[in-house]
């Protein structure tokens, strides 16, 4: 596998989106190598860039930071009452947030969105 730098960054940038991907560069690399291309640092990339990158030759996408952010936001919602201490009552909010992100991204990456 090859994980080329094509405008993506690891993590998510605060205060704005990630730079746009160089789709032509992805296409050029995909036609030059005979291994799967990996997009490391996919969190924060626009849906349009994801679709174009996959069409250009990206086979694997990493969105770990996006999933972690969803988990944290879900935990924050679960703790919002300030009085709950039982993990089984707090964790479902985080699980739901992660599920929403992963489901939406899997649909996008599979061409269902």
The answer on pLDDT for 3 being more than 80 is yes
Output the pLDDT for position 36.
97
- Domain extent, residue 96, equals 63-113
103-107: long-range contacts (C-beta < 8 A, 24 or more apart)? 105/61, 105/63, 105/66
What are 37's strand-pairing partners? Answer: 2, 58
Output the pLDDT for position 17.
65
Q: Are residues 80 and 40 in the same domain?
A: no
Output the pLDDT for position 16.
66
Q: Are residues 78 and 102 in the same domain?
A: yes
Output the pLDDT for position 71.
97
The answer on pLDDT for 13 being more than 90 is no
> 62, 88, 104: which is the final residue of a domain?
62
Q: Are residues 95 and 54 in the same domain?
A: no
The answer on pLDDT for 11 being more than 90 is no
Output the pLDDT for position 87.
92
Q: Are residues 53 and 19 in the same domain?
A: yes
Q: pTM for this structure?
A: 0.85
Q: Are residues 9 and 43 in the same domain?
A: yes
How far is Cα 36 from Cα 59, in angstroms, rounded to an integer?
6
Q: Are residues 75 and 101 in the same domain?
A: yes
| 32-81 pLDDT per residue, tens | 999 999 999 888 899 999 999 999 999 999 999 999 999 999 999 999 97
Q: List strand residue ranges (DSSP E) for the chain, in order.
A: 37-39, 58-61
Q: Are residues 10 and 56 in the same domain?
A: yes
The count of structural domains within the chain is 2
Q: Are residues 31 and 51 in the same domain?
A: yes
**34-68 as b/e: b if 16+ CB within 10 A:** eeebbbbbbbbbeeebbebbbebbbeebbbebbbe
């Amino acid at each position: 596998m090859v994980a080329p730098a094509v405008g993506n960054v690891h993590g998510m940038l605060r205060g704005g989106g990630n730079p746009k991907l160089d789709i032509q560069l992805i296409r050029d690399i995909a036609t030059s190598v005979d291994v799967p291309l990996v997009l490391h640092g996919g969190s924060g990339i626009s849906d349009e860039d994801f679709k174009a990158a996959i069409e250009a030759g990206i086979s694997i996408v990493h969105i770990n930071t996006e999933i972690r952010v969803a988990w944290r936001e879900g935990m924050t919602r679960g703790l919002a009452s300030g009085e709950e201490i039982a993990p089984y009552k707090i964790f479902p909010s985080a699980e739901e947030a992660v599920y929403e992100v992963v489901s939406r991204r899997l649909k996008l990456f599979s061409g269902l969105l």
